Every structure is written in C-alpha cells, then in structure tokens.
Structure 1
Amino acid sequence: MSVGLLALLDDVAGLAKLAAASLDDVAGQAAKAGMKAAGAVVDDAAVTPRYVHGFAAERELPMVARIALGSIRNKLLFLLPGALALSLLAPWAITPLLMLGGAYLCYEGAEKLYEALFPHAAHAHEAALEPAASDPKLLEDQKVSGAIKTDFILSAEIMTIALASLPESSLVMQAAVLGVVALGITAAVYGGVALIVKADDIGLTLATNGGPHALGQATRSLGRALVQGMPGFMTLLGGAGTAAMIWVGGGIIVHGLEAFGFSLPAHLIHDAAIAVAGALPAAAGFVIWLVESAAYGIVGLAVGAALIPLVGRVASPAWRAVRRLLPGAG
C-alpha cells in the first residue's frame, strides 16, 4: 500500500475521531442544558393537556401531533436562530422580549382562573376578543393555535436557559446543541402528553381484557383505576397548567425587573423564602422553591389581572382596527 494512501487513511481516521468527539460534546452539553431547563419543561408538559381536554378521543392524538409540530417549528425555525442572533447582535433585547412573553403567560393563566371563578363575565370577555367557533374543526384550530402560542413562550424560556448554560464555544456548536435540546425536549414533552391524554383509553383496553388468572385480574384492576382516576387527574393537571403559566410568567417578570436594576421584588421574595426555610431546615430546598413559586404566582396573577381589561378594552379593539386597514381584510 502506498505511503500516500496510508496518510489519507490516517487523516480520515483522525477526522472520524474528531467528529465522534464533537458528537459526544454536543450530546453532553445538550444533556446538561436540558437539565438546566427542566423546570420549564415540566411546566410545558403540565400546560398542554388542557388544550386537548374535552375533544373526541379520536382527535386527541392528531391535536397533540399538530401542537408538537408547531413546537418544533417554534424552536428550530424561530427561537434557535433568533436566540443566537440576539445573543450576538442585540443581547440587551432578550430580557424585554422574555418579559413580554412572561406577561402573555400571566394573562393566559389569569384569564383561565377568571373563567373558572366568573364564567359568564369571562365568556363575554372572550367573545369580545374572538368569537367562539361553532364548527368543531374551527374550534380545534383555535385550540391548537392557542397551544402553539403558549408553547412559543415556554419554548423561548427553555431555549434561553439552555443557551445561557452553554460554555463558550463556536456558533455552530451552540446551534447543534440547541437543536438537540429542542428535538429532545419536544419529544419528551409531547410523548408524555400523548400518554396522558390517552391513558383513559389505555385503561379501558386493560379493563376489558385479560384472562381469569391473577395477572389478568391485576391488569383489569389497573385499567379500571386508570379509567376512574383520569378525569380527576386531568382536572388537577389543568389546574397545575394554569398555575404554571402564572408562576412562570411572574418569575420571568421578577427576574427581568432585577436585570434592569429594580431588584427589590426579587430580594424580598428570596429573603422571605430563606426566612421560612430557616424554620424548616429539613426541607429547606423544597420550602424555598415553594415560597418563591407562590410569590411569583402572586406577581403573575396581579399582572395577568391588570392585563385582562387592558387587552379587552384597548389592545383587542386596536388590533381589530389595524386588521381592517390591512390589504384583503374583510
């Protein structure tokens, strides 16, 4: 074998090792970045099922698939290049944009709470914003669109946290890691959501199958437990999703204010959490998280409650007026 060919093979082997090392780096950094964003991922998983709750069973998985596709589009086509571009060209814009997204989450969550407490007034507010669709296809489209909008905000937080956790590296490496994070988190969130929304159907299948032996009886018992327990679980999860939007939005706003120099709310919340945790040192970490989350929730609820009349009486009429001026508006 010629010396030139041996040298070429050696170069190819070196490139292969370099590529493998790069893939290992991407996977490792993606795993670490995904763990940093775990809190927002849990919130995302809690929020989504309420958008498909109440639809026919055969439409649940197609709706989840449409939302998941929209989530991938959000992350890969908009948020990934947008986050990289802003971090390079206008890092100062990231915080105010996140705060706008946080305000939207506060509004969405407060509106759902308003609907639960004052259903007639909430329905009138929603009708003023956008008339409810009477056609099932249009109603499904509205729900999917709303879920994708909410996902955009939560995904923006996930991608920002992931980007902030990356070590100094090339733009290509950052893009590769964020791409892996986007795909992995979307698969995990919407795979879990699909299991949740179909758990009652799985339970029904288990409850109506199985032989007379002990394993078959246990399978039927598990199926009955799933069928009986899922309505309550979905109600609980819907409440958790609403709470998650409010406290995540409130937390984004509190930390955004801190970044702009108004750190009093963040300091007060942190000091209160530390004081309460001091009385319960055995569960200090959990207590700090609970107190801070509750405080963020109060802030988010206040912001969302203030935005409900603002959106209904100012923003929505202004947007309708703008749309009438656009070419092709009916």
Structure 2
Amino acid sequence: MPSGLIALLDDVAMIAKLASASMDDIAGATAKAGAKAAGVVIDDTAVTPRYVTGLSPERELPIIWKIALGSLRNKLLFLLPGAIALAAFAPFLITPLLMLGGAYLAFEATEKILEVVLNDHHHQVDLLQADTPQELEDRQVQGAIRTDFILSAEIVAIALNALGDLTLWEKAAALVFVSIAITVGVYGAVGLIVKLDDIGLHMAERKNRATQAFGRGLIHVVPRLLSALSGIGTAAMLWVGGGILLHGMEELGAPTIPHKIHDLAHHVSEAVGGGTFGAILEWISNAIGAAIAGAIIGWVLAMIIRRFHKHPEELIVD
C-alpha cells in the first residue's frame, strides 16, 4: 500500500480521536454523499452479476471477491487521491467532469438498449474467443474492474460534490468511508444475488415441504431477478446520467431545460393536490424527465460513435 495512503488513513484516525464534532460532520456528509450516489450504486449492483454468468458456480464468489478488491483499489488508490487533488487545486472542474461522467452513463445505457433492439452480441462473441476457463475468468474480471472504474469515478465525483464546505481532510475521510461502505454493500449484494439459485437448490433438497417450495420458487425467480436488475440498472444509468447533465447545465448558467422539467414535475404534483402522493409523483416526473434527457444525449453519442467505430468482423465484411 503506498505510503501516501497510509499517511492519509493515519490522519483520518487522528481526526477521529481529536475532533468528535468533526466526525459527526463527516458521518452526516458521508450519508448525504452516499445517498447522492445511490443511482450509480444501483447500476453497479445490477451490472456486476453478468460478469459471472456462464462460469463455474464454485468460482462465482472468488471472482466477485477479485472484482471487489479491484473496485476498492480503483477508489482508494486512484480515484480518491485524484478527487482530493481536484477539490484542492481545481474545484471548478468538478461540474464539467461530472457532466462528462453523466454523458458516459447515458451513452452506456443507450448502448445497452441498442444492443437489445439491434440484437448485437459482440460482448458474448469476444468472451467465446477465450481459449481456457482461466482466460475466460480473467477477461471477465478485467472487464468488470474496467467498468467499475468508470462507475466508481462517478460515485466518487458525486460524493465529492455533495460534501459541501468540509475541510480537505474531512472530505478525504468521508470519501474513504463512502468508498468502503459502497464497495462492501454493492459486492455483498452481488454475492448474495448470484448465489440465490444455489441457495434455492439447497433448500429444495430439504425434507420440509415449505422449505422445498420456497427453494423451488427461488430457482424460478432468480433468472427473472437478474433480467429485472439489468433493466433497473439501465434505467438508473439514464436517470442518473440525465440528472447529472441537467444539474450541470444549471451550474454552468444554462437552466432553461432543467427548469422546464422541474416546472412540469411541479405542475403534475399540483394536479393531484400535492401532499405525499404529489411529492412522490413530482420526484417520479423529475426522474422521467432526467431519463429522457439522458436518452437523448446518449442516443446522439451512440450514433456518433457507431458511425466511426466498427467491430473487427464488420471490417472483414466490408
């Protein structure tokens, strides 16, 4: 572990011992930052199970462990120092970088939709070219860690942007807590999800009829759950990516479109009389508006990239 990170963690420990009031601020900021990054966390949780699909069941948890370690390394060794340097020397770049990440999330979500619509299976073709199970596993792990780096960068950037006026070291402490908590939460949930079918099989072999029925139910539900998670992850990417872009437009002095979406959502709330139900509808309307904005930006980017990028087999055909 680099000495700089050790020094950082030592300073965090010192803050914990000497400034309990500051730690209260850090705890509150950590919770706020984690909540702000929730949409990307949903997508991270939804995306990861596909990287163990088709591999031996006994390798599922070891692979997730490798990906989790890679994710923590991404956050603590690369992204966190970069975020702190950004906050210290170039805070004006945070919003533009967030918008770049939001555009990427929107693009990725749109690409997933286009792959389904156009029946594009290039990812699966690439994996089938692996010569050995170990090579396939290595490719899956490397691909997952690369994807995680992008999602983790957006999580760290969103968290940093939510930390407000904390001191530099308080921001560092909060980002460490956010990074560890999100990594444990995401990959713990992923580990549970990918083993649900094995849990179901184990329960189906028990003598108790109720346990057997529940186990068989799990076996039938898991494939649908994985499919639903993929859809939820795509929707979350559009919503979060679009929301980041809209917020960035407001920050950079172009509030027209964001304000129109907010106003429309407010009118929807008023149309049902406000209250709790109105607030829920307003939130949903804002989320839908953000997702539509994300889909538009993502589609434009996807069309540009598809125009200039071809897969190897397409080049052969040409």
TM-score range relative to shorter protein: 0.7 to 0.9
1:10 aligns with none
The reply to whether residue 284 of structure 1 matches residue 281 of structure 2 is no
248, 257, 262: which one aligns with 1:256: 248
Q: What runs of 5+ residues in structure 1 fail to find an aligned partner?
A: 1-14, 318-330
SS in 1 for 2:253: coil
| Inter-partner Cα distance in structure 2 for 1:92 and 1:315 | 32
The reply to whether residue 224 of structure 1 matches residue 216 of structure 2 is yes
- Mapping of 1:198-277 within 5 angstroms? 198-209=195-206, 211=207, 216-277=208-269
Aligned amino acid, residue 176 of structure 2: G
| Inter-partner Cα distance in structure 2 for 1:301 and 1:275 | 23
Compute the displacement of 1:137 (Å): 4.5
1:87 aligns with 87
2:294 aligns with 300
Aligned amino acid, residue 305 of structure 2: V
Aligned amino acid, residue 277 of structure 1: S
2:99 aligns with 99
Q: In 2 relative to 1, CA 139–279 (structure 1 residues): closer, same or farther, beyond 3 Å?
A: farther
| Inter-partner Cα distance in structure 2 for 1:268 and 1:307 | 23
- Mapping of 1:70-81 within 5 angstroms? 70-81=70-81
Compute the displacement of 1:267 (Å): 0.8
1:33 aligns with 33
SS in 1 for 2:254: coil
Compute the displacement of 1:183 (Å): 0.5
Larger radius of gyration: 1
Question: Higher mean Cα deviation, 286-295 or 304-313?
Answer: 304-313
2:12 aligns with none
1:175 aligns with 172
Cα deviation code 1:207-243 (max 9, x no counterpart): 112x4xxxx3222222111111111111111111122
Cα deviation code 1:51-85 (max 9, x no counterpart): 43344323322332222122212211122111111
Question: Higher mean Cα deviation, 305-314 or 135-144?
Answer: 135-144
Are the counterparts in 2 of residues 47 and 245 from structure 1 also a CA contact under 8 Å? no
| Inter-partner Cα distance in structure 2 for 1:312 and 1:304 | 12
Are the counterparts in 2 of residues 98 and 156 from structure 1 also a CA contact under 8 Å? no
Are the counterparts in 2 of residues 46 and 244 from structure 1 also a CA contact under 8 Å? no
| Inter-partner Cα distance in structure 2 for 1:99 and 1:167 | 18
- Mapping of 1:60-139 within 5 angstroms? 60-119=60-119, 122-123=120-121, 133-135=128-130, 136-139=133-136
Are the counterparts in 2 of residues 273 and 292 from structure 1 also a CA contact under 8 Å? yes
2:11 aligns with none
Question: Higher mean Cα deviation, 34-43 or 108-117?
Answer: 34-43
| Inter-partner Cα distance in structure 2 for 1:132 and 1:191 | 25
Aligned amino acid, residue 302 of structure 2: I
Are the counterparts in 1 of residues 106 and 294 from structure 2 also a CA contact under 8 Å? yes
| Inter-partner Cα distance in structure 2 for 1:51 and 1:286 | 34
1:11 aligns with none
Cα deviation code 1:272-323 (max 9, x no counterpart): 1111122233412321222122222222222222222322343679xxxxxx
The reply to whether residue 161 of structure 1 matches residue 158 of structure 2 is yes
Compute the displacement of 1:30 (Å): 2.9
* Aligned residues with identical type, % of pairs: 51
Q: Aligned residue pairs: how many?
A: 293
Are the counterparts in 2 of residues 254 and 265 from structure 1 also a CA contact under 8 Å? yes
Aligned amino acid, residue 95 of structure 1: T
- Using the size of structure 2 for normalisation, the TM-score is 0.80
Cα deviation code 1:173-212 (max 9, x no counterpart): 3212211111111101110111011111111111112x4x
